[in-house]
Amino acid sequence: MPERTESESRKLLRRLRDSLAMTGGGQDRLDRITHLIADSMGTEVCSIYLFRDAETLELCATQGLNKQAVHKTRMKLGEGLVGRVARSNAPVNTADAPGEKGFRYMPETGEEIYSSFLGVPIQRVGEKLGVLVVQSREARSYSDDEIYALEVVAMVLAEMTELGVFTSDEEGMRALHRQPVMFRGSTGQEGAAEGHVWLHEPRVVVTNPVADDPLLEIERIRGAVGQLRVSIDDLLAAQSLDKDQVQVLEAYRMFANSRGWLRRMEEDIMRGLSAEAAVEKEQSAARARLEQVEDAYLRERLNDLDDLSNRLLRILTGQGKDTGAEMPPDPVLVARNIGPAELLDYGRRLKGVVLEEGSVGSHAAIVARALAIPLVIHAGRITSEALNGDHILVDGDQGIAHLRPEETVARAFRDKIAMQAEAQKRYASLRGLPATTKCGTTVALQMNAGLMADLPSLEGSGAEGVGLFRTELQFLVRNKMPRRAELAALYARVMDAAKGKRVAFRTLDIGSDKVLPYMKPQEEPNPAMGWRAIRVGLDKPGVLRMQVQALIRAANGRPLTLMFPFITELSEFQEARSMVLREIHRERSLGHVVPEPLEIGAMLETPSLAFAPRAFFELTDFVSIGGNDLKQFFFAADRENERVRRRYDTLNLSFLTFLQGIVARCAETGTPLSFCGEDAGRPVEALALAAIGMRGLSMRPASIGPVKALLRRVNLEEARGVIEAARAAGQESARPMLMEWLAQQPTD
């Protein structure tokens, strides 16, 4: 690389840094920058376009174009050459801009006299901030050195934008980390919370992107990369790693030992960037390249690259993961994703959780439900926007997070929380009363649980028992299989805390989206319909047998209720039930006390079991409908797919008719039946389920009050009549007519 080019680049960055350090508003700084770049690169035009919103770019400063166009010229993402740069995250370099496909002529700018065009993205670690453009009258293509130099300048502008140096009260100036932002994601766990951000992986902010001594910076980057390589080798030397962890660390080592990666960062430093800015520039460039790749495996390597770059930045800054920030008293956890054990470590201190990734059935969602913490998932880019201590509102009901909300939004949100709190007071007065309807029908309301921490809610919520205790959480949060004695002790504590109330333990439900850290993951095209739940238990009977033994010993002569998940046919239930009876016989022969009475049930989660032989309904002690899975299989709508899972209504009359068939079959054999799932905890859905004959509903503790309050003020026979009327009228769903009928019911 020519020394002259290196010196010119460093000189430009120093001038840029000095210009940014001068007093003045954000617009003044941008105006000075465009003049400086045009002068240094010998071009007639330099313009800066910044995103006004996620889809709109705005001309915010220019040297050479018509000044009256500033803050007036706008274009959509992908529109014109500037929009193409922003969409592709790649430079556009042409000697004949008007002749380029997609060129958009903007007469207000006066740019028609300029032939050559070079635009580069202003981006920071995948976050699109804007576009930097230079133009000349002379028809020429810009050299690789000029493109490189402009990319380095764009990197500095990105860091300066991140630090808010272009913030002003003038129209169009974008203030990162200061403006209110709403993230529309998906509901992971219902509920509402107000608090302040606590980042699970604090981001390192580069405060000095320009360096004076490139040789010193190269020494720093080489030392930090060397330290990074040693730390990865040390991790790989650990004896406790499983195959997947080794694969991830091997990918880290491949990146860390890439000569090209280090060489490119050293070149960036020679251009004038600090070591930290060079790391982020290469991280952004690699992200831009990988995001264009269709191969899913290569795209997943983005996470490896980000983690590695963040490790390197922490070494360079000396921050480590501990940035010195104190957790706020009302923390809302913000993260890209998080494992169940890490979330449990935070425990009930958290007011809410907002994730960029995750799913409704993920481990984090399961733990959030167990802890009754509002959870929003799929809140894209929130980790790039949020800072520790930012004010945040979490609306788990709508799947929305408001970051740094305006006061009017915060007031409305607080009113909503206050109304919910007032309603909870009313529900508390019903705690000791049964869910008996106006027509004299009593519906048993039970709660779902999965942790010891859930059990105090049993008394406080007014639940009659635990209709579902998820046993997989104790397996998911460990790095190795729990021992039988440990499980027996835990299950005994659960029974003790229930104080004689019925607890239905669901045996291990793994597979699909719940993969144990110490089990080899199965590559399946459709894991939700693959090797999971009871199928794993019957194929790997040692684990199921150990769990059954732990439950028997935990009962120690007390009543025991257990049920098997994902039973699809009679033979599966017979085999699983026989295993339990053999273990009962074995424990009795060893002189151990066995449970009395013993209930063995099945979860009906697939349509096939609804059509099982009569012998199944006669053999099982009870049936619990797993509504979440049953609904996804009935409608062929993946519950993890946001595009389809909300498309279908639980009150669809075809689904209600199907459920009524199950009610009738259980009634024929006198088999107790309950419904367990999200819909059981939604008052209108719960009313419909009770109206078609469900006499047991199991839900999260916070839903018991609202459901009981509604059931106690309605007549189920009338509600059933409304559903039948909707069916007779040829309606697709009973919801409209049911809601109209409900609006006419007295509120007392």
The predicted-structure confidence for 409-448, as pLDDT tens digits, reads as follows 999 999 988 888 888 888 888 888 999 999 999 999 999 9
Q: What is the pLDDT of residue 345?
A: 78
- pLDDT averaged over the chain? 85
Hey, what's the torsion of the CAs at 649, 651, 656, 662, to 10 degrees? 80
Residue 248 has a pLDDT of 67
Please count the other Cβ atoms lying within 10 Å of the Cβ belonging to residue 664.
Answer: 11
Tens digit of each residue's pLDDT (9 = 90 or more) over 288-299: 666 666 555 555
Measured at the CA of 339, the angle between CA 335 and CA 343, to 5 degrees, comes to: 75
What is the spatial order of strands in the sheet that 116-124 belongs to?
74-76, 56-63, 45-53, 127-136, 116-124, 92-94
Cα–Cα distance measured from residue 187 to residue 639, given in angstroms and rounded to the nearest whole number: 12
Residue 63 CA: distances (Å) to CA of 38, 112, 157, 359, 471: 7, 15, 16, 47, 65
What gap in Å lies between CA 307 and CA 298, rounded to an integer?
Answer: 15
Continuous H helices in 257-377? 259-270, 275-291, 296-317, 340-346, 363-371
The rounded distance, in Å, linking the Cα atoms of 466 and 187 is 24
Catalytic sites, residue numbers:
363, 676
Q: Is the dihedral of CA 687, 688, 691, 697 positive or negative?
A: negative
Placement of tokens 């305006």 in the chain: 406
618 or 429, greater pLDDT: 618
Asked whether 374 and 396 are in contact (CB, 8 A), the reply is yes
pLDDT at 640 over 60: yes
Distance, in Å, from the CA atom of 146 to the CA atom of 149, rounded to the nearest integer, reads: 5
What is the distance between the alpha carbons of residues 287 and 292, in angstroms, rounded to a whole number?
Answer: 9
* Token code pair at residue 575: 């085999």
Q: CA triplet 486, 338, 193: central angle to 5 degrees? A: 100
Check residue 646 and give its pLDDT.
74
> Helix, strand or coil for residue 335?
strand
Question: Do 316 and 219 form a contact (C-beta atoms < 8 A)?
Answer: no
| Percent of the chain with pLDDT strictly greater than 70 | 86
Give just the sign of the alpha carbon dihedral 669, 672, 675, 680. Answer: positive
- Give the pLDDT score at 1: 34
**Which pLDDT score is estimated for 169?**
46
- 193-212: per-residue pLDDT in tens? 999 999 887 767 677 788 87
Q: Which position has the token pair 């899975």?
A: 629
Q: Please tell me the predicted confidence (pLDDT) of residue 24.
A: 64
Question: CB-based contacts of 101: which residues, under 8 Å, 6+ apart?
Answer: none
Residue pointed to by tokens 């949100």: 413
pLDDT of residue 363: 65
Beta bridge partners of 447: 466, 699
**In the predicted model, what is the mean pLDDT of residues 51-65?**
87
CB 648, CB 637: distance < 8 Å: yes
Which domains are delineated in the chain?
Answer: 3-162 (3.30.450.40), 181-202+325-420 (3.50.30.10), 214-317 (1.10.274.10), 439-743 (3.20.20.60)
